[in-house]
Structure 1
Amino acid sequence: MRLACLVISCVASAAFAQWDPFNGDWSKADDAQIRVMTWNVQDCICSSSTRKFDSISDWNATVRIVAAMRPDVLILQETGDNSGNGTGSGVDSVSELLTTLDLFLHGGNDPFNGNTAVTSYVQKFAPDYDLPHLFVSATTDGFNRNVVLSRHPFADLDGDGTSQISNPIFIPDEYAPGGSGGIRGFQFAEIDLPDGTYEGDLVVGNAHLKSGGTSDDQSQRLNASRNIAYLLQYQYNGNGTGSADPNGAVIVPSASNILDPATPVVLGGDWNEDESSNGRRGPAEWMTRAEGLSNDGTDRDGTDAVWDSASNIFNGDTDTRGASKLDYLAWQDSIATGATQFIFDSRDLTSNAMPPEFDGFPITGTTLSGLASDHLPVIVDFDLPLLAVCPADWNGDTVLDIFDVLAFLGDFQGGSLNADITGDGLLDIFDVLAYLGLFEAGC
């Protein structure tokens, strides 16, 4: 019935999925949500890997977990490291890693290993799912690269002439020490969400900050984080001035406009510091709260942004590597709402909770997380501002005019229950009056 469609459009503009992980359905609760997943995959995705088969391997485990979670945006760390994988040497070039990611998603013959057929790939287990838009960072520490994979295309959102930044560059200003986004870069992807569904778009940042516990390691993480906080506050938000980079301290990227007010920034990655036990204001706190004053947060409205409170839904554990939380998602919560947050660990799954994408794995599916990586993925489903739907726009051309009235009357006279505005199962004058009321109200 038309009424049902209108209600769904106004409330969510999308069909509802299930989100019933205890019974094996790990899909989003609402199709209009944007699922972002961050994961340090511990060198398993690289060109030289000889384990790209449907076997007991890190590659196959990682493939199946991605296929089961189906993120709209997947951000990865520690990709392209052939030495770390134990099958080659050096770091993949951008081109080599793009080819490897295509094999990871779509399969094919592996040009890096004698054109053997890749028998484990995401679309083998999720044929109706894809992440066709790939951004491999040009910045590397000589071992690995950061990657953003997206369901939706990239597009320039801030007028700097590009939709992809591998590593921003700064001169010192305010609390930003200057320099860059860190040893492996802090990549940013600007993502064009469907205009017919969302009011704005999305910017996603991804970083693998310096590991280690020395004072230099800690300093490198903090310097990168302070620079990124500055990028959000001054470049993307304009620091309340309406202009991008009002102090001229961001060298790369050189934006000409701030982001649309309905476009949030989501940051993620392996930040290599546990905010619950580090004894200081670490990367997550700096990138969400900046200096921590009353009006200098990195949210669009100058308040503090937030980082995730994701946990394992079976036991409440918040650790992502060993006994520490090192992996984060953070976002501007005046725009985006983290509706569902969780850490995925197959080791705690019951038989009922096992995703169907794990079926046929050579051994029990509970082993996949341990095989895939020493880190666990953090996943958040975001509610974003949706485009307002006008129920009186009967022909869907976004203009209210006589043609909408004629289209409604055509449905009404033809006996279509689409015209049952009141939802009582009858077509009568009350439906006509209800429609005309909507039309006259301009909605």
Structure 2
Amino acid sequence: MNRRSRLVSASLALVLAAGASAQWNPNAGQWGKSDPRDVRVMTWNVLDGICRTNNKVEDLNNWAALARIVAAMKPDILLLQETGDNAGNGTGSGVDSTSQLNTTLGYFFNGGNDSFKSNAPITSWVKKYAPTFDMPYVYVSFTTDGFNRNIVLSRFPFTDLTGDTFNAISTWSSLPDLYAPGGTPGIRGFIFAEINLPDADYAGNLVVGTAHLRSGGTASDKQERLVASQNIAYYIDYMLNGGGTSTPDPRGMILDSPAATLVPSATTPAIWGGDFNEDENSNGRDGPAWWMTKAAVNGGTDGTDRDRTDATFDDARDFFTNNRSTQSSSKLDYICWQDSIATLRRSFIFNSVNCNSTTTPPELVGYVGGFSLCTSFASDHRPVIADFILPAAVTQPGPFNLLTPADNTVNTSLTTSLTWSPSSNATSYTVKVSLSPDLSSPIVNAGGLAGTSYVIGGGVLAECGQYYWGVTAVNTAGSRASTPASFGFRTSFPADLTGDGFVNGDDYDLFASYFESGDLGADINGDTFVNGDDFDAFASHFEAGC
């Protein structure tokens, strides 16, 4: 059954000073993001170091090392495996409950007095080294192998993106279908968490996932990883991608209750990672990372990307050595993503042993025993970090102005060109021409215009007419009317020979002067002759006041 959870010194001075200017320049000890809008995902098997009975003190230990490295990398999404095993950590017994792990994570980030250790003061915690950094949204898996649990932490809140009333799940079951054998996603489940990204920065949201697949090299171990990864691929493609449709689980093979009703938006990618316990470069087969991204056919149309091409898994390397191993000499830990939506800016593996006094993150300075020991004391795995560029928010078109013909222009050509200034973020424009200032019942309604001008064709405007025009800028986020909403103009008044916008005695006197001298200014009908026809035409227009 799906379940959800809600959560609820000189060296330190150096850390605080460096935090305000974090950016990507590892050679100068700066390991932050290039763009604050990038989403940083970090996956790490922490080898039991986050558990209730651990000694949460500043010392040469895994707790302090873990806290310092998380503070240094400042992920937006943190995927943790192998948490909560007190016996494995050598400090207690049993697996932590979800409640105990939530409390422990609160200590990990915020410090305080340790209720699991007779309220002893905690002397090492993430925000001690990075005071403005926090990950307040936590989902601890309800699924355990009897030893440890998976966790997703986020800077952004969880939300239900699939309409099943859950914002995260620990595991699921499915029936056999296509390439998927059916069953569960493995011995420790698979967390999928749905993340609500800020609308001001991102066009969509985010689905993240993590797993810790079975370890071991026996045939049964490998088969279990294969089955789990095939089921995971099927879930991503058919639940999150709708199998190429707009309906989640269109084949009805995923046992989701309540059933999902929505496929996440086209600008909402899935990014998942974890300890897959198999190196795709040396396993001699299509392993878990391969199956989770490509499914049955490499380069086919059944991949787990949103467009059903193949998704991608990382080839992260140590920044200084180019080493790809994350545990001993193998790469067991991966991050996968839907590359048709999320663009990888960079991925890397962090190992403090390869840093020096210039390149080490300031958050590691002051670690007991020296900063170079942080990674090896934290865990037997090294973290994989990836920065992603997600589709940016589309804001409504910006303000813009009408230009020509200006308001109250007279003697406007019957085929005049309308022009306006550009609107920022606009993808197209709609022009209206009407007999009314509110542009109702338009005689011109031209949409989808890419440029900032429009020529009114012949036969639309008439002489002696009063017209109004306006423009609306459009994009996917909405629309914006021009400033002002409309300009008025009058077409040519043949009897207004003085061009002052009025037909009166001055025009009559000027016509008479032109007519008497044979001046072409009196050629009202435009035939290049001045004769009685022009007199009649002028008289008719004069009498009509135009």
Shorter-chain TM band? 0.7 to 0.9
Amino acid at match of 1:32: R
TM-superposed CA distance for 1:16, in Å, is 9.9
**TM-score, normalising length from structure 2?**
0.70
**Is residue 17–residue 30 contact of structure 1 (8 Å, CA) maintained in 2?**
no
Aligned residue in 2 for 1:156:
160
Deviation of 1:435 after TM superposition, in Å, equals 6.7
Alpha-carbon distance, 1:259 to partner? 1.2
Alpha-carbon distance in structure 2 between the residues aligned to 1:16 and 1:52: 29
Find out whether 1:26 has 2:3 as its counterpart: no
1:347 aligns with 2:353: yes
Q: Distance in 1 between matches of 2:140 and 2:301?
A: 35
Residue of 56, 60, 63 corresponding to 1:56: 60
Q: Distance in 1 between matches of 2:326 and 2:131?
A: 29
Partner of 1:39: 44
RMSD between aligned alpha carbons? 2.1
Paired-residue identity, %? 53
Distance 1:181 1:434 in 2: 52
Q: Is the contact between residue 16 and residue 29 of structure 1 (CA under 8 Å) also seen in structure 2?
A: no
Q: 1:435/1:233 Cα in 2 relative to 1: closer, same or farther (>3 Å)?
A: closer
Matched residue, 1:278: 283
Q: What is the correspondence of 1:1-400 to structure 2 with a 5 Å cutoff?
A: 18-49=23-54, 51-252=55-256, 254-292=259-297, 294-390=300-396, 392-393=398-399
Matched length: 394
Unmatched 5+ stretches in structure 2: 1-19, 403-419, 425-451, 454-470, 476-546
CA distance in 2, matches of 1:89, 1:205: 28
**Which one-letter code corresponds to 2:339 in the other structure?**
D
- How far apart, CA to CA, are the structure 2 residues paired with 1:434 and 1:155? 37
- Cα contact 2:47–2:381 (8 A) shared by 1: yes
The offset of 1:132, in angstroms, is 0.1
Separation of aligned partners in 1, 2:132 and 2:180: 44
For residues 134 and 369 of structure 2, what CA distance do their matches in structure 1 show? 26
- Asked whether the equivalents of residues 269 and 329 of structure 1 are also in contact (C-alpha less than 8 Å), the reply is yes
Per-residue CA deviations over 1:170-227 (Å, capped at 9, x if unaligned) read: 1111111111110001111100000111110001110000000011100110111000
Question: Secondary structure of the equivalent of 2:372?
Answer: helix
Q: Give 1:323 shift.
A: 0.7
8 Å CA contact 2:200–2:393 kept in 1: the answer is yes
Native 8 Å contact 2:207 2:271 kept in 1:
yes
Q: 1:401 to 1:104 in 2, by over 3 A?
A: farther
**Which is helix-richer, 1 or 2?**
1
Aligned 8 A contact 2:68 2:126 in 1? yes
Larger RCO of the pair (alpha carbons < 8 Å, separation 6+): 1
* Further displaced range: 356-365 or 336-345: 356-365
In 1, the alpha carbon distance for the partners of 2:473 and 2:264 equals 31
Deviation, 1:434, is 6.1
Q: Is the 8 A contact 2:423 2:473 kept in 1?
A: no
Offset at 1:359?
2.0
**How far has the Cα of 1:112 moved from its partner?**
0.5
TM-score (norm 1): 0.86
CA contact (8 A) 2:51 2:86 kept: yes
* Residues 397 and 474 in structure 2, CA contact (< 8 A), matched pair in contact too: no
Find the residue that maps to 1:62 and give its secondary structure: helix
Per the TM alignment, residue 442 of structure 1 is displaced from its structure 2 partner at its CA by 4.6
Kindly state the Cα deviation for residue 306 of structure 1 after the two structures are TM-superposed: 0.2
1:18 CA drift (Å) = 2.7
In structure 2, the residue matched to 1:407 is none
- The farther-off stretch of 232-241 and 127-136 is 232-241
- Contact 1:107/1:118 (8 A) holds in 2: yes
CA contact (8 A) 2:397 2:473 kept: no
Q: Distance in 2 between matches of 1:435 and 1:219?
A: 58
1:95 to partner: Cα distance: 0.3
**2:275 aligned partner, one-letter code:** D
The amino acid of 2:182's aligned partner reads: G
Q: Distance in 1 between matches of 2:290 and 2:31?
A: 29
Q: Deviations over 1:394-435 (max 9, x none)?
A: xxxxxx899xxxxxxxxxxxxxxxxxxxxxxxxxxxxx9567
CA distance in 2 between counterparts of 1:372 and 1:401 reads 60
- Measure, in 1, the Cα distance between the counterparts of 2:422 and 2:262: 43
On the 8 A contact 2:22/2:31 being kept in 1, the answer is no
- Change in 2 beyond 3 A, CA 1:433/1:16: farther
The separation in 2 between residues aligned to 1:441 and 1:183, in whole angstroms, is 54
Supply the distance in 2 between the matched residues of 1:17 and 1:360 (Cα, whole angstroms): 19
Gaps spanning 5+ residues in structure 1: where? Answer: 1-14, 394-399, 403-431
Q: Looking at secondary structure, tell me which structure has more strand per residue.
A: 2
**Residues 16 and 116 of structure 1: CA distance in aligned 2, closer, same or farther (over 3 Å):** closer
Q: Distance in 1 between matches of 2:368 and 2:336?
A: 36
